[in-house]
């Protein structure tokens, strides 16, 4: 199936999300299969919010928080050095860290987490899997925290060798929104680690055309983690964004949008997510 370009559907996005008085859109009319959860002060919006979607790199959010929890409980430091060997730096994957250190290096743990969260570096993610939680152990950690419908089965390297495995790392928009709410409320980490992670999320460099692209009041802070899947059989397996939006007055909103098997191109899907963010926030301001 041919992916559909941005120019054809950009006006449709805004019509779809503004033609009704809430973000309730008939799923059958969409050129994308999506789910969303919005936790507002006036409204709580849900569309397929409890369905499972491929997480793509949103899984790095859960991994990063779990690693911080492990470091804190063990009395370790984010300054501890992690050796990165050339063998850790897979060639055929997204990895700004590999591009900077092609021969390998030793980096502070904090820097590897930043690469994974802020740059969505796949090699950094797999280094964290090898040093801390395997996918199975990460799922156990999530279940211990009562996030039962998030499941991580595969590393980035495994998914790149077999893109169909991307459908094995799954979660719902609602549970991801609850996770972000728990993180920002300080329920998952101690205060210093919570502050460190929220700042790291606010400096994310990926998916800037998604939730961050909607219009917000000056001074708004957006902490978010994106996920971008593979193109298979004419579809993008997943394009996601999970965000905490903090307005200058301190009011905080949580928006998670997961898109599965988008027939739109990547830029058009980004614009669709941004339009949902704009519609959701308009009802709160």
pLDDT tens digit string along 156-169? 999 999 999 999 99
Render pLDDT for 168-183 as a digit per residue (tens, 0 to 9): 999 999 999 999 999 9
Helix (H, G, I), strand (E, B) or coil at 237: strand
Across 257-270, average pLDDT: 90
* pTM (2 d.p.): 0.90
- Lowest mean per-residue pLDDT among 41-50, 79-88, 199-208: 41-50
Q: What pLDDT, on a 0 to 100 scale, did the predictor assign at position 10?
A: 43
Q: Which two tokens stand for residue 101?
A: 């250190």
Give me 47's structure tokens. 């569309």
Among the listed residues 41, 57, 115, 55, the one whose alpha carbon sits nearest the alpha carbon of residue 84 = 115
Instruction: Check if the beta carbon of residue 82 is closer than 8 Å to that of residue 112.
Output: yes
pLDDT-based confidence at residue 23 (cuts at 50, 70, 90)? very low
CA quadruple 187, 59, 137, 139: dihedral positive or negative? positive
Measure the N-to-C terminal CA separation of the chain; round to a whole number of Å.
Answer: 39
Q: Encode pLDDT of 233-254 as tens digits.
A: 777 789 999 999 999 999 999 9
Quick one: pLDDT at residue 16? 45
3-class secondary-structure state, position 115: helix
Residue 9 has pLDDT above 90, yes or no: no
pLDDT for residue 19 is more than 60: no
Q: How far is residue 120 from each of residues 6, 27, 58, 62, measured CA to CA in Å?
A: 24, 29, 9, 13
How would residue 44 be classed by pLDDT, with cut points 50, 70 and 90?
Answer: confident
Name the phi and psi angles at 178, rounded to 5: -65, -40
What CA–CA distance (Å, rounded) separates 147 from 171? 9
**% of the chain beyond a pLDDT of 70:** 89
Q: Could you give the 3-state DSSP secondary structure of residue 267?
A: helix
Q: Which residues, other chains included, contact 226 with Cβ-Cβ below 8 Å and sequence gap of 6+? A: 56, 57, 58, 120, 204, 206, 207, 210, 240, 241, 242
CA angle, 246 then 218 then 115, to 5°:
60
For residue 7, pLDDT over 50 is answered with: no
Asked if 69 and 197 touch (Cβ cutoff 8 Å), the reply is no
Predicted local distance difference test score (pLDDT) of residue 203 = 97
Return the domain boundaries, the chain. Answer: 6-77+136-282
pLDDT of residue 258: 97
Q: Is the pLDDT of residue 24 over 70?
A: no
Q: Is the pLDDT of residue 122 over 90?
A: yes
Helix ranges, 75-190 (H): 96-100, 109-118, 122-131, 135-144, 156-161, 173-184
6-77+136-282 under CATH 3.60.20.10, yes or no: no
Residue 141: what pLDDT? 98
């Amino acid at each position: 199936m041919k992916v559909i370009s941005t120019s054809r559907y950009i006006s449709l996005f805004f019509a779809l999300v503004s033609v009704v008085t809430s973000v309730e859109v008939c799923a059958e009319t969409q050129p994308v299969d999506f789910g969303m959860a919005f936790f507002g002060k006036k409204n709580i919006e849900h569309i397929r919010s409890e369905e499972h979607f491929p997480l793509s790199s949103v899984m790095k959010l859960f991994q990063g928080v779990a690693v911080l929890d492990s470091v804190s409980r063990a009395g370790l430091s984010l300054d501890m050095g992690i050796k990165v060997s050339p063998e850790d730096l897979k060639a055929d994957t997204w990895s700004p860290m590999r591009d900077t250190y092609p021969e390998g290096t030793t980096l502070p743990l904090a820097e590897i987490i930043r690469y994974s969260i802020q740059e969505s570096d796949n090699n950094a993610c797999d280094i964290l899997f090898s040093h801390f939680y395997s996918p199975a152990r990460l799922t156990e950690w999530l279940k211990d925290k009562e996030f039962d419908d998030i499941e991580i089965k595969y590393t980035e390297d495994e998914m790149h060798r077999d893109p169909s495995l991307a459908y094995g790392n799954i979660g719902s928009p609602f549970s991801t929104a609850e996770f972000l709410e728990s993180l920002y409320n300080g329920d998952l980490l101690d205060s210093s680690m919570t502050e460190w992670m929220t700042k790291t999320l606010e400096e994310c460099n990926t998916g800037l055309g998604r939730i961050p692209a909607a219009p917000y009041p000056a001074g708004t802070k957006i902490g978010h983690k994106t996920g971008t899947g593979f193109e298979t059989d004419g579809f993008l397996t997943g394009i996601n964004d999970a965000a905490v939006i903090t307005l200058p007055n301190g009011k905080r909103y949580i928006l998670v949008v997961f898109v599965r098997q988008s027939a739109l191109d990547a830029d058009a899907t980004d614009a669709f997510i941004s339009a949902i963010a704009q519609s959701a926030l308009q009802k709160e301001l």
